Amino acid sequence: MKVVLQLNDFYIPTLEIDNGKIVKNPEIPSRLESIKNFVSKTFETIPAKEYPINYIHNIHPKWYVEHVKKISSSTNNEYLPEVFLKDRILDSGTPVTPVTYKAALNAYYASITGANLDEKYVYILTRPPGHHASKDFAGGYCFFNNAAIIAKYLQSIYQKRICILDIDFHHGNGTQEIFYYDPNIVYISIHGTPEKFFPWISGFREETGSGDGKGTNFNFPLDGGTNWREYKVVFEMALEIIEKVSPYKLIVSLGFDTHINDPMGHFNLQDEDYKHIGVMLKKLDIPIIFVQEGGYNKESNKEAAKNLFFTFGKE
Residue 168 binds Zn ion, judged by CB under 5 A: yes
Radius of gyration of the chain (CA): 18
Q: How many CA atoms are closer than 13 Å to the CA of 9, on its beta-carbon side?
A: 4
- Would you count residue 257 as binding ligand OKP (CB under 6 A)? yes
Q: Which residues contact 284 (CB under 8 A, 6 or more apart)?
A: 239, 242, 243, 250
> Which C-beta is closer to ligand OKP: that of 18 or that of 243?
18
Q: Which does 128 bind (CB under 5 to 8 A by kind): Zn ion, ligand OKP, none?
A: none
Write the interaction track for Zn ion spanning residues 250-269; mark x where CB under 5 A is met and - where it is not: -----x-x------------
Residue ranges in 97-136 that form contacts with ligand OKP under rule CB under 6 A: 129, 132
Interface with ligand OKP, residue 168, by CB under 6 A: yes
170 belongs to the binding site for Zn ion (CB under 5 A): yes
Distance CA(186)–CA(182), nearest Å, equals 8
Count of residues that bind ligand OKP according to CB under 6 A: 15
Nearer to ligand OKP, 169 or 235 (CB): 169
Exactly one of 60, 132, 171, 266 is catalytic; name it.
132
Check binding of 262 to ligand OKP (CB under 6 A): no
State the helix-helix crossing angle for 62-74 and 100-115, rounded to 10 degrees: 140
Check binding of 93 to ligand OKP (CB under 6 A).
yes
Residue 191 known to be catalytic: no
Would you tell me which residues interact with ligand OKP (CB under 6 A)? 18-19, 93, 129, 132, 140-141, 168, 170, 198, 255, 257, 264, 293-294
Active site residue ranges: 132
